[in-house]
Amino acid sequence: MSETENRPPGRPPEYLAAELHRALTEDPRCAEQGVRVRIRGDVVVLDGEVGNAERRRRLEDVVREIAPDAQIHNDVHVTATPGPGECEDLGD
């Protein structure tokens, strides 16, 4: 079976990738601009970095709403964001 036959039906892969990328950017549940979306056959591949595991999971929720029959390969990494450091005393 060719890659064309394996992709989610109804849209060329580049259109679906663009639609998913826009949704991941605009949906308030994830609002991630740095996540890359690729379509490989019937698989949606997500790649990039997010700040926490919940946001990573929400990416998949948004993809499932748009492409419910696609498999998702979520290669997004969670990066720990350092907390606030000590206050610097600048004196008077």
The whole-chain average pLDDT of the chain stands at 84
Total domains in the chain come to 1
pLDDT of 89 reads 66
The per-residue pLDDT for range 51-79, each reduced to its tens digit, is 999 999 999 999 999 999 999 999 999 98
Residue 66 CA to residue 69 CA, distance in Å, equals 9
Tokens representing 2 are 């060719």
- pTM value? 0.73
| pLDDT band at residue 12 using 50, 70 and 90 as cut-offs | confident
Question: For residue 54, is it within any domain?
Answer: yes
CATH of the domain at 15: 3.30.70
Domain residue limits at 52: 3-78
Tell me which of 2-6, 41-45, 72-76 is least confident.
2-6
